[in-house]
Structure 1
């Protein structure tokens, strides 16, 4: 397989994002990204996880392999909070497109949670698209 460096992809992705944003609504773009994230997760199945720490480790193995940062998972009374940092979404799609590009992570995380046995009625939502530390926060629950 040939080397696929970021420099090779920048011109293509820049043109592709411009075309997408000119022809699709933000809602449709978010749906496409969410479905893409779910497909990504289905293609990269996680190891079985009995604890939240096991889930975090399994997810981070995937993210580290592709250079997509890391996730920290915290338990709250009614949901799990996932803080993802250093994903290349802003660098790839631009700061103006964060509202829909973060849906990729929503879709991936939700699919992984369901794969690991979570109730299919539970959903992943974005709690904070990008904070000052560069983290995106998601919540998994009702």
Structure 2
């Protein structure tokens, strides 16, 4: 079982998971993690820093999960998504216990997207671009 699965994360945990991650990261640094779309550039920068620092995926998995929770929470607050628990088949497909469902019913995997950014890098895996090109967003920002 991977460390992410061992966390036993559920949809109901993800908002507090994101908030806890932001509190830990911003306590030491002045990072503008304010749940804005623009803050997703900071997430790209942080993931790239983990990659360039030579971090092995297993050693940074908790940080990647926290960043994924943050990205998902941006989708919840800005795009009208909601956190959902995945069933067994979806968990096998996404490799995660939770995802977000957009207003049009599509399910997206922000934790997996962050992990892809770490594994693959490059502008094609940008989390800001992911948001901007995401299908199923609400037309107006959700508070």
Range of TM-score over shorter length = 0.3 to 0.5
Larger helix proportion of the pair = 2
Query: Scaled by the length of structure 1, what TM-score is found?
Result: 0.38
Rg comparison, structure with higher value: 1
- Compute the TM-score of the two structures, normalised by the length of structure 2: 0.38
Q: From the two aligned structures, give the one with the greater strand fraction.
A: 1
